[in-house]
Amino acid sequence: MNSKYVFLVLVPIMAGACARERSGPVGLQFRHYSDPSRRSWSASGPRPLETLLWYPAKPGTRQSAHTVSIFKTGVYTVGAAFPDGARKYPLILLSHGIGGSAYSLAWLAEALAREGYIVAAVNHHGNTGAEPRYLMQGFILWWERPQDIKALLDRLLADESLRDRIDRERIGVAGFSLGGYTALSAVGARLAIRAWGHDPNRWERGTLGRLPPEANFSMEEAKRMIGSDGPVAESIKRADDSYLDGRIKAAFVMAPPLGPLLDAESLGKIGVPVKILVGSRDDQAVPKEDAIPIAGRIPGAELEILEGVGHYVFLCEGTLMGKLADRRHLVDAGGVDRAKIHGRVGREACEFFARSMGKASP
């Protein structure tokens, strides 16, 4: 690792990690976008881009706490009006983790929105709990995700109700887990797997040897899909393409995986500010295999390792019933306070984007 470019901080999360006081109110809206350049994997028609938007709401808006499924999703008002006036807001594109949803990162979206950002979080088709079922394509064809980010940005900037509110010079991206890879890809990271082609055995040796816990399919089913023709084969041809979007000015990345599969040269050419956070006890995006070497290859990248923290701490807090039903995703190791970590990381995200793109206007 090139220490000239990477700031490695092993942070005890219990010290000074108190949640930030809430400031302005937050609104939430829904957008039903799609990408006609790609087809849906589950139905006829274009690829869906179901999107949630968090944003600063008009002062005085009454808010309430919300829960969605197993998650506490924060305090906001659905359908709230934007503040009066012609102010433009910086935009953050947000990518959820494997099998997750936009709601699973609501804590971060809310923190950014309270500081004056519009946050647009897409549910990645086939790889989201917001759809009726998971699809293998969504779990394995990861490079479709950064294409979602580009298509989402195109839709947002063309949306008559939003385009005049977005500051086009201050657009960032953030993501967790596979969403962390998505964010890195959007600023220039490329995969190096095209040579595997349709050989399922090479795919298994390279990455399928350890399916994620959220996968609802077997290794043999995955290998059959990789070796198939049609849309999957066409997608694989694009695996190592660049999905750099020059409109994006900074990337905030939490627990990124796929470190050994990223092209080192592409990481060395990333030209925007990048900050990477990971827990020291992450067993899904293992720091020494993923975050540390990734950060070491990106010029000027910041790296922060949170002591004692596991992979799923970056998801929303769980409801009481959620914690009883899903300990893997919602119950942390002893001494880890998820709410305090969210308060701290939310503050760091706001500070990072303010440094990297300029502060949101008052």
| Cβ(54)–Cβ(60) below 8 Å | no
**Which amino acid, one-letter code, is at 162?**
L
pLDDT of residue 181: 98
| DSSP helix/strand/coil, 52 | strand
pLDDT-derived band of residue 201, with 50, 70 and 90 as boundaries?
Answer: confident
pLDDT digits (tens, 9 = 90+) for 217-234: 988 898 898 888 889 999
Beta pairing, strands 166-176 & 250-254: parallel
pLDDT digits (tens, 9 = 90+) for 164-198: 999 999 999 999 999 999 999 999 999 999 888 88
pLDDT of residue 100: 96
What's the whole-number mean pLDDT along residues 200-221? 83
Tokens, residue 8: 């490695």
Percentages helix, strand, coil for the chain, rounded to the nearest 5?
35, 25, 45
Gap between the Cα atoms of 152 and 50, Å rounded: 9
Gap between the Cα atoms of 280 and 262, Å rounded: 21
pLDDT at 9 over 50: no
**Which amino acid, one-letter code, is at 140?**
I
pLDDT-derived band of residue 5, with 50, 70 and 90 as boundaries?
Answer: very low
pTM listed for this prediction: 0.92
pLDDT at 1 over 90: no
Gap between the Cα atoms of 291 and 307, Å rounded: 14
Beta pairing, strands 118-122 & 89-95: parallel
The structural domains of the chain, ordered by start, are: 7-357 (3.40.50.1820)
Q: What is the mean pLDDT of the chain?
A: 91
pLDDT of residue 211: 84
pLDDT digits (tens, 9 = 90+) for 272-304: 999 999 999 999 999 999 999 999 999 999 999
